Chain A
Amino acid sequence: MKQYIDKGKKDTRSGFGAGLLEAGKADSRVVALTADLKGSLKMDAFADAFPERYFECGIAEANMIGAAAGMAIAGKVPFAGSFAEFVTGRVYDQVRMEVCYGETNVKIASSHAGITLGEDGATHQTMEDIALMRALPGMVVINPCDYTQTRLATVAAAKYDGPVYLRFGRPKVADFWPDDLPFEIGKAYVLNEGKDVTIFATGHMVWEALKAAEALEAEGVCAEVVDIATIKPLDTKTVLASILKTGAAVVAEEHNMAGGLGELIAGVLAATAPKPLEYINGADQFGQSGTPAELLAAYGMDAAHIAEAAKKVMLRK
């Protein structure tokens, strides 16, 4: 199996902060807005480097999205950031009207997404945001897997002309994305080639999927791991090529079933080449307080559960 080196545990939100600074240096049109969460979203370096291009909005997310849209209309490239819940559910109407139907070049920076937010509990563990953002015409949805990919995705989002939902998280996780591997919006990455089963994973679940593939290898199962970094538009070519080769797949995401990656891939397969699927996700429920590792295990979303699901789905081929 292809080996990926964990360069050290880092949070994906810090990858966003680094990418934002990089994008800001490369393009003076880049501006940043936040609703009293500069530190949490690691925007400090950008704010220090470009104080005139950084806008503190206070705890008023609706206005932040609107102001960002206005700045985009006037030619800026705004990144508007807050916790996942507050830049999706709380401001869904604003994102729909001002950003998507309004066709403004706004980047929604969404941190602390998913159950791995941990101790803050269910109020902040957003697992419905991908569904909400996917439903909006014109919205690109990116859910990078680690620090390096989040940094690269942030830079790519700044260069892309159009609305982007960029989802990342709070906990420190393995940073394994090779520094020399470029990131492209809309591309799925086959991180490990296999023949028996595919694991489609997104976000923090990609590392869990790689660990699961390692465990499966020890049991003689050759699992293909595909990183779906861009959920919309989905790289259907890569998805179909993989599952037509392996014949069965697990879809792993830190999101609930409704409107998530699992349903998305199921929909693509139903219309083209139906194959057995198993789902690793938050089902249809809210989370609770706990450490990220505890929660992933308790909700059936860690590497061990992915490996089990892979074996199960192979039996249905």
Chain B
Amino acid sequence: MRSSEDLKKIASQVRRDIVKMVTVAKSGHPGGSMSCADFLTALYFNVMDTDPAKWTRDGKNQDVFFLSAGHLTPVYYSLLARTGFFPVSELATFRKFGTRLQGHPSVEKGLPGITQTSGSLGQGLSAAIGVALAKKLDKDPKSVYVMCGDGESEEGQIWEAGMFAAHHKVDNLVAMTDWNGQQIDGTVENVAGLGDLEAKWKAFGWDVIVVADGHDMDQILAAFDAAKAKKGHGKPVMILFKTEMGHGVDFMAGTHKWHGNAPSEEQCAAALGQLEETLGDF
């Protein structure tokens, strides 16, 4: 287990990777990648039981992660590389012709660590529930984790899945919502307000944990501990992480404008100036 301080350092490197990948590719989604970077770093480095050397797509006898918000490949690929699923140097190929690091996750390209394709929003939660139900059938004690966006939660399928998981008591599943309050066209509340997300998930029969500061590593780790304690108690768990879009770089933070835009070389340099290099850049 790594300390909060260590995880913060890793998350800083992950943010550097995100900014660099998107800049090199001249496209991609940095804002949302940076809002969920802290809790996904904790998830991959401290929470999930997964071994890159033994990883198989079926996820047998390992914890499984689904990225439902499939556009957040910069953070996903960075974490997979930094935890040893593939060489860190491969991050430089992001979105380039012939790469395994497709714009949105692809199983066709055979990138280790990718359990399912995603990119059409609202679908990953259902697939995660499917794996969780299969694990129960197989008496596999491991868990399934899935991350959705708050804007993504405007998709009806998210709520179909929500009802289905509660009905079937899928209690080996931990879903996470990156509640950064932004989507492409503006703030979530202005585009199609979600209202009280906590009350909604509770009403759908889930155990809900709210993390007031989704960038505070101690709060993040406490939430994952609480989620693990709820396993096997008959309900799926939703952790709502209140975060900030583009967190970690002042001119990218708190705005939808960096949802799907790449920084210029100058902006990249300015951003990297605000993020400590801790593990060595790709």
- Pair A98/B157 contact, Cβ less than 8 Å: no
Q: How many A-B residue pairs have CB under 8 A?
A: 117
Task: Check B133 for interface membership: any CB of A closer than 8 A.
Answer: yes
Selected from A58, A60, A64, A73, the residue in CB contact (under 8 A) with B131 is A73
- Pair A101/B129 contact, Cβ less than 8 Å: no
- Pair A67/B58 contact, Cβ less than 8 Å: no
Q: Smallest Cβ distance from A122 to chain B, in angstroms?
A: 25
Selected from B118, B123, B135, the residue in CB contact (under 8 A) with A74 is B135
- Give chain A's interface residue range (CB within 8 Å of chain B): 20 to 34
Selected from B122, B123, B127, B133, the residue in CB contact (under 8 A) with A55 is B133
Contacts A97-B119, A101-B106, A103-B108 given; does A73 touch B127 at CB 8 Å: yes
- Pair A63/B126 contact, Cβ less than 8 Å: yes
Main secondary structure of the interface of A (DSSP, over half): helix
Residue among B106, B131, B168 facing the most chain A CB atoms (10 A cut-off): B131
A103 contact set on B, CB distance < 8 A? 107-108
Contacts A73-B127, A73-B131 given; does A67 touch B164 at CB 8 Å: yes
Selected from A65, A66, A74, the residue in CB contact (under 8 A) with B125 is A66
- In chain A between 126 and 168, which residues have their CB closer than 8 angstroms to a CB of chain B? none
A184 contact set on B, CB distance < 8 A? none
- Pair B127/A66 contact, Cβ less than 8 Å: yes
Task: Check A255 for interface membership: any CB of B closer than 8 A.
Answer: no
Task: Check A39 for interface membership: any CB of B closer than 8 A.
Answer: no
With A and B bound together, what is the CA distance between A68 and B107 in angstroms?
17
Selected from B130, B138, B157, B164, the residue in CB contact (under 8 A) with A73 is B130
Task: Check A94 for interface membership: any CB of B closer than 8 A.
Answer: yes
Task: Check B167 for interface membership: any CB of A closer than 8 A.
Answer: yes
Contact with A along B48-82 (1 / 0, CB 8 A): 00000000011110000000000000000000000
With A and B bound together, what is the CA distance between A93 and B123 in angstroms?
10
- Pair A67/B127 contact, Cβ less than 8 Å: yes
B132 contact set on A, CB distance < 8 A? 70
- Pair A76/B137 contact, Cβ less than 8 Å: yes
- In chain A between 30 and 84, which residues have their CB closer than 8 angstroms to a CB of chain B? 31, 52-53, 55, 57-58, 60, 62-76, 78
- Pair A62/B57 contact, Cβ less than 8 Å: no
Task: Check B278 for interface membership: any CB of A closer than 8 A.
Answer: no
Q: Smallest Cβ distance from A59 to chain B, in angstroms?
A: 9
Task: Check B87 for interface membership: any CB of A closer than 8 A.
Answer: no
Contacts A55-B168, A58-B163, A60-B160 given; does A74 touch B134 at CB 8 Å: yes
Contacts A97-B118, A102-B107 given; does A74 touch B130 at CB 8 Å: yes
- Pair B164/A62 contact, Cβ less than 8 Å: no
B129 contact set on A, CB distance < 8 A? 63, 66-67, 70
B133 contact set on A, CB distance < 8 A? 55, 67, 70-71
B127 contact set on A, CB distance < 8 A? 66-67, 69-70, 73, 98, 102
- Pair A67/B156 contact, Cβ less than 8 Å: no
Selected from B119, B130, B163, the residue in CB contact (under 8 A) with A66 is B130
Task: Check B264 for interface membership: any CB of A closer than 8 A.
Answer: no
- Pair B134/A66 contact, Cβ less than 8 Å: no
With A and B bound together, what is the CA distance between A71 and B126 in angstroms?
10
- Pair B160/A69 contact, Cβ less than 8 Å: no
List chain B positions with a Cβ less than 8 A from chain A: 57-60, 106-108, 115-120, 122-135, 137-138, 156-157, 160-161, 163-164, 167-168
List 11 A–B pairs whose Cβ atoms lie within 8 Å, in order of A's numbering.
A55-B133, A58-B164, A60-B164, A66-B124, A68-B130, A70-B129, A74-B130, A78-B130, A96-B120, A98-B116, A101-B108
